[in-house]
Amino acid sequence: MTATYSLFEGHHRLAQGEMTALAAVARASLARDPNISFRVFDDTTGERVALDLEPPARKSAGRPKLVVVTREVGLLPRHWDWLAQQQGGPSAALRRLVETARRDPATVRKDELNAAYRFVGDIAGDLAGFEEASRTLFNDDREGFLANTQGWPTDVRGQALRMLGWT
């Protein structure tokens, strides 16, 4: 699945899609008005991400490099013993556990709520009704969220509703 992003100027969404498409829209907008400022959000996590306005570089041919990130995990000896007995060893067992947890509906919903909050906290934190909207968001209260965001800019409210699956 390809990651998608949303490009905002103030409270207006200019574009949504892959990063290269957003960069092209941003470059065209800057050509018209060099003082314009943007915010780009990851549509899945709600996090603000950097926008690279440099033209895309040519990709080299060949196989992509596999990147392995090593981090420390603190477990009790009995946990390590159990992991060592699992098919594929500790790393494979941990990957399977993480993937299973990520598919759990309660975890998925919690991630959606947190992502929407990151987005609205960044872009709408100064809007009327933000505090109440935040409470209703975390209570998974669609009707309350709609009521508290009624006066919000259409693009901001729409983005939040899409992230919450309430459209």
Contact 42, 18 (CB under 8 A): no
pLDDT for 54: 82
Digit-by-digit pLDDT tens for the chain (167 residues) are: 789 999 999 999 999 999 999 999 999 999 999 999 999 999 999 999 999 888 767 766 777 777 777 788 888 889 989 998 999 988 888 989 999 888 899 999 999 999 999 999 999 999 999 999 999 999 999 999 999 999 999 999 999 999 999 98
- Total domains present in the chain: 2
Same domain, yes or no: 92 and 155: yes
Triad 98, 102, 106: Cα angle to 5°? 130
Q: Taking the CB of residue 115, how many other CB atoms lie within 10 A of it?
A: 20
Domain membership of residue 11 as a residue range: 5-49
Residue-wise DSSP of 62-127: SPPPP----------HHHHHHHHTSTTHHHHHHHHHHHHHHH-HHHHHHHHHHHHHHHHHHHSTTS
Is position 57 within any domain?
no
Is position 69 within any domain?
no
Is position 125 within any domain?
yes
| pTM of the predicted model as reported, rounded to 2 decimal places | 0.80
Same domain, yes or no: 160 and 83: yes
Q: In the structure encoding, which two tokens stand for residue 125, read together?
A: 């934190």
Is position 70 within any domain?
no
Same domain, yes or no: 85 and 24: no
Is position 60 within any domain?
no
Same domain, yes or no: 90 and 156: yes
